[in-house]
């Protein structure tokens, strides 16, 4: 790190936005085949992402990225670290593109998850049906591109399980998400099928509170925070690049960066 210009005093969001732009361009073709994940990037930067200091070093290294990344190798089976429940960050931070007083209120009783695109079964899902899917939970670190990270516990169903139930064409390239607050994002199919990618309905053992994304959040510990959509209303499988709220403003689409 450049000692005369400590990173903490710089606008991290802008630095990272520039960095991910650079990241995105020279290697786009490579990324199209091999999605960047946090695990992969941590290998490249030599940071373990297991504690606050290493996440800090990682974000600094990512902010200095350039086309070095062309030599990148990504292992889609790599797992993100998991943590003991005693390490959960309390209170877990809230973040969105608006303040906490504007969190969307979704009525669970009326709610139906829309499923579309390249899937065999497009019937909408009630919350009761979703809660009846096999459930698991994991304690993982959420890393926001704005320069903070926090450990939380999310519970839900493996997203791969859900995709199989709806008869998704898993040879398709993308899964796109639309949210109750006009947020949207999309992920690559290998990440959708990653064993740690969960469609979550609980936070810390309780029904997902509105601020953390009721009725559901897609939780991917291998991706940066902004790739993890809250308040999911609709999802669809597609070969047409769907973009995303931040992605369309210049953030790296793979968001594992
Ligand atoms: N629907 C929706 N999902 C979203 C966002 C948002 O503004 N709207 N913000 C993203 C960002 S940048 C982060 S860091 C996390 C924050 O999740 P949290 O409030 O549970 O910490 O949600 C992500 N998913
Ligand atoms: Mo974020």
- Predicted TM-score of the model (pTM): 0.79
Average the pLDDT over each of 25-29, 42-46, 153-157 and give the range with the smallest value: 25-29
Same domain, 166 and 125: yes
Same domain, 137 and 65: no
CATH number at residue 125: 3.90.420.10
Q: Verify whether ligand 1 is closer than 6 Å to residue 96 (CB atom).
A: yes
What ligand has the least distance to the C-alpha of 145? 2
Q: 7 in a domain, yes or no?
A: no
189-211 per-position pLDDT tens digit: 988 999 999 999 999 999 999 99
User: To which H or E segment does residue 61 belong?
Assistant: helix 52-63
64-93 per-position pLDDT tens digit: 543 333 223 344 567 788 899 999 999 999
Contact (Cβ atoms closer than 8 angstroms) between residue 173 and residue 189:
yes
Predicted local distance difference test score (pLDDT) of residue 68: 36
Q: Verify whether ligand 1 is closer than 6 Å to residue 234 (CB atom).
A: no
Same domain, 142 and 168: yes
DSSP 11-48: -HHHHHHHHHHHHHTTTHHHHHHS---HHHHHHHHT--
Helices (H), 64-143: 127-131
Q: 237 in a domain, yes or no?
A: yes
Q: Verify whether ligand 1 is closer than 6 Å to residue 230 (CB atom).
A: yes
The residue ranking higher by pLDDT, 221 or 179, is 179
Rounded-to-integer distance, Cα 198 and Cα 195, Å:
8
Q: Which domain holds residue 30?
A: 12-73
Contact (Cβ atoms closer than 8 angstroms) between residue 58 and residue 42:
yes
Domain count, the chain: 2
Does pLDDT of 146 surpass 80?
no
Same domain, 25 and 92: no
């Amino acid at each position: 790190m450049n000692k005369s210009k400590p990173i903490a005093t710089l606008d991290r969001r802008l630095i990272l936005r520039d960095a991910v732009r650079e990241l995105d361009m020279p290697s786009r073709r490579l990324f199209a085949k091999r999605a960047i994940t946090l695990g992969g990037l941590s290998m490249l930067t030599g940071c373990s992402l297991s504690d606050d200091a290493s996440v800090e070093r990682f974000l600094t290294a990512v902010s200095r990225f350039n086309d070095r990344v062309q030599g990148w190798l990504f292992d889609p089976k790599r797992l993100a670290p998991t943590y003991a429940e005693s390490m959960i960050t309390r209170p877990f931070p809230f973040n969105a593109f608006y303040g906490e007083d504007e969190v969307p209120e979704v009525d669970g009783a009326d709610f139906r998850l829309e499923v579309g695109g390249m899937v065999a079964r497009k019937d909408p899902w009630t919350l009761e049906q979703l809660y009846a899917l096999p459930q698991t939970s994991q304690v993982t670190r959420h890393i926001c591109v704005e320069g903070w990270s926090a450990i939380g516990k999310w519970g839900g169903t493996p997203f791969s399980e859900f995709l199989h139930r709806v008869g998704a064409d898993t040879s398709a390239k993308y899964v796109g998400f639309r949210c109750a607050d006009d947020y949207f994002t999309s992920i690559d199919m290998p990440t959708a099928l990653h064993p740690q990618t969960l469609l979550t309905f609980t936070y810390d053992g309780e029904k997902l509170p509105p601020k953390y994304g009721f009725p559901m959040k897609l939780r991917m510990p291998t991706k940066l925070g902004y790739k993890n959509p809250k308040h999911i209303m609709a999802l669809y499988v597609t070969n047409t690049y769907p973009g995303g709220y931040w992605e369309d403003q210049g953030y790296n689409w793979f968001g594992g960066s």
